[in-house]
Structure 1
Amino acid sequence: MSERVLIAGCGDLGEHVARLLLAQDNEVYAFRRHPPDHDDGIQWLSADLTCPETLAALPERITRLVFMPAPQAREPESYRAVFLDGLRNVIDALDAASLERMLFVSSSAVYGEHGDAWVDEATPPSPPGFNGQVLWEAEQWLMNQPVDAVVLRLAGLYGPGRMQLIERLRAGQARAPREQQQWANRIHVDDAAAAIVHLLALRDPQPVYVGVDDTPLPLDVLYDDLARLAGAPPVPSGPAPVGIGSKRLSNARLKTSGFRFRWPDTREGYADCIRNAPPAE
């Protein structure tokens, strides 16, 4: 059955999602503040989550909503405006009688410091940074609304166009903590998009899923392996990233739901990106 899907805040990941939905013969609407002018099958709209008046002309009879905006700035006010006020605005603007499923794209930033312990959907959130705090607040608000909502907490995204880590490694700018173990969790953008589409259609989903591949790795192991793949110099030691906490994310619930990863190993996904990267100009 074809669905009428709205992607609220449709950036790069959202366009990946839209293409998968279109391939399934769904009707896909998407908005951002400044939509592109190309005709790619997506029905683009110009709207701003933080301005309710711009949402008045959203399409009727939307059956699926994907909420995945990007704040304009990495500061608490921008996060609250988008993930709290914006979330309320877009839900208020849609026909509740038609909306059958909403998927909220959250982040593993809602989890805090857990050392070497495995972290899954049952682990209580304890966000150390304002970004995770706002997302956790938005999740809690959403779960109290009369809508069938699913939250997907994504780990760090990588893939074509998201190769900043490789660039930093090649430039000798990355540092790896070696005295104190810090876990790295990643998911390829193609798998993240596929997981969103999978959960949109899943019958009787759980309320929360963690989106991460099969291979959480100590950060120094990941950096050393990627440096070898990229032909980068050895990675010097340095402090762990501040304000994110160490944790090993589990994808058991997502895989139990029937989802299968194209890139279960972060290193294989990065290797493919490196092989297929366009030549430097």
Structure 2
Amino acid sequence: MSRVLLVGCGALGTALGVRLLARGDEVVALRRDPAGLPSDFTRLAVDLAAGPPAVPLPEADAAVITLPPISLPDGGNGAAAALRHLRAALPSTPERTILVSSTRVFDGAPAGTVLTEADAPVPGSERARALAETEEVARELFGAFVLRPAGIYGPGRDFLVRTVREGRPANHGRLTNRIHEADLVRTLWALLTASAPPAVLHAVDQAPAPLGEVLGFLAGRLGVPVPADAGGGPEGRVFDGAALLGLLGSLGFPGYRDGYDAMLDGAA
């Protein structure tokens, strides 16, 4: 049995934790309010951004960190501070740590750029700069493997479906990338269990597409008009998903049509 520390532990961490429990691992979840987490998790109420926990944390074989960007009252990077407090509270560094970041670290790259894991981040916003800094702190303190998902969708993550149903205008020309939550959980599992996982991995499916194309598909499925084009011109980037495909072998939802069909049919 291994002990896996889930730091942040929202919907993604919870789905991974359930799978780890089924394997026989012990799951320790850290969150400011862990009350809604599964009772089989060891649940610890900890606000790492505010400071180190009052008591030392248990030793862990692995850690999966899913902290969102956090802005401190002084404008500092709360996620980076949380990582420093986490390391100070642990008796030793876990053998494997995975930081879930975001493809947003490239939001300063030119529109239409095709990006792979070999490309260095190009942050253009404060949020992106905070994410890039958090990645560096995670590497420094934990030797972390960095996972950068694109837009996550799946049950309960239906922003685009609601956009179409409500007819909200959107920029049809924006290039978009996404990953189904089920494939993202599989990716975290693979990064935890692979003998030599990649140091950096972009979690994207095999079907990057202009937003207008995705909205048109959803409108057809829902039987409603396509939302109006809000304009704004070309923007967004394309992420090559070859490395993820190489790690997993195949995706359960290789493109948005597969994933949204399953969502709308109630299958996933």
Same-fold call, TM cutoff 0.5: yes
User: Does residue 139 in structure 1 map to residue 135 in structure 2?
Assistant: yes
1:238 aligns with 2:238: no
Tell me whether 1:129 sits opposite 2:125 in the alignment.
Answer: yes
CA distance in 1 between counterparts of 2:210 and 2:74 reads: 32
Give the whole-Å Cα distance in 2 for the aligned partners of 1:35 and 1:225: 38
SS of residue paired to 1:89: helix
Distance 1:235 1:119, change over 3 A: same
The letter for the 2-side match of 1:162 is R
How has the CA–CA distance of structure 1 residues 124 and 40 changed in structure 2, closer, same or farther, with 3 Å as cutoff?
same
The 3 A distance-change label for structure 1 pair 209 and 241 is farther
Distance of aligned partners of 1:194 and 1:82 in 2 relative to their CA distance in 1, 3 Å threshold: farther
Asked whether 1:113 is paired with 2:105, we answer no
The answer for the alignment partner of 1:6 in structure 2 is 5
CA gap 1:216/1:38 in 2 versus in 1, 3 angstroms: closer
In structure 1, C-alpha distance between the alignment counterparts of 2:91 and 2:200, rounded to whole Å:
24
Structure 1 counterpart of 2:48, one-letter code = L
Question: In the alignment, which of 84, 96, 103 is matched to residue 101 of structure 1?
Answer: 96
CA distance in 2, matches of 1:217, 1:161: 22
Residue 222 of structure 1 corresponds to 214
Q: Which amino acid in 2 is paired with 1:264?
A: P
Cα deviation code 1:78-106 (max 9, x no counterpart): 98443210111112211225x10000000
Residue 189 (structure 1) shift: 1.1
Contact 1:100 1:148 in 2 (8 A): no
Change (3 A) 1:80 1:232: farther
Shift of 1:38: 6.2
Question: For residues 105 and 79 of structure 1, what CA distance do their matches in structure 2 show?
Answer: 22
Aligned to 1:160: 155
Report if aligned partners of 1:48, 1:55 keep a CA contact under 8 Å in 2: no
In structure 1, what is the Cα distance between the partners aligned to 2:170 and 2:52?
46
**Are 1:251 and 2:241 counterparts?**
yes
Q: How many residues align?
A: 266
- The amino acid across from 1:86 in the alignment is A
User: Aligned letter for 2:9?
Assistant: C
Task: Give runs of aligned pairs for residues 21-100 of structure 1, distance below 5 A.
Answer: 21-36=20-35, 39-54=38-53, 56-59=55-58, 61-71=59-69, 80-96=76-92, 99-100=94-95
| Alpha carbons of structure 1 residues 58 and 113: separation in structure 2 relative to 1, 3 Å | same
Q: CA deviation at 1:198?
A: 1.0
What TM-score, normalized to structure 2?
0.90
Unpaired segments of 5 or more residues in structure 2?
none
User: Which residue of 190, 196, 200 corresponds with 2:192?
Assistant: 200
Gaps of 5+ in 1: none
User: Over residues 176-220 of structure 1, what are the superposed CA-to-partner deviations in whole Å (9 max), with x where a residue is unaligned?
Assistant: 33xxx4211111111111111110111122210001111111111
Work out whether residues 187 and 248 of structure 2, in 8 Å CA contact, stay in contact via their aligned partners in 1: no
Amino acid at match of 1:170: R
SS of the residue corresponding to residue 169 of structure 1 reads: helix
Percentage of matched positions with identical amino acids: 30
Deviations 1:56-78 (A, max 9, x none): 3422x201011102356xx5769
- Residue type of the partner of 1:105? V
Is the Cα contact below 8 Å between 1:185 and 1:248 reproduced in 2? yes
When residues 45 and 264 of structure 1 are mapped into structure 2, their CA distance, relative to the original with a 3 A threshold, is same
Residue pair 2:176, 2:238 contacting (<8 A) in 1 also = yes
- Structure 1's 80 and 9: CA in aligned 2 closer, same or farther, altered over 3 A? farther
Assess, with a 3 A threshold, how the Cα gap between structure 1 residues 33 and 79 changes in structure 2: closer, same or farther: farther
Equivalent residue, structure 1, for 2:168: 173
CA deviations on 1:3-22 (whole Å, 9 max, x unpaired) are: 21000001111111111211
Residue-by-residue CA offset, 1:230-275 (whole Å, 9 max, x unaligned): 2221221112499xx5111112112222453211111211121112
SS in 1 for 2:101: strand
The CA RMSD measured in Å over matched residues stands at: 2.3
CA shift, 1:51, in A, is 3.0
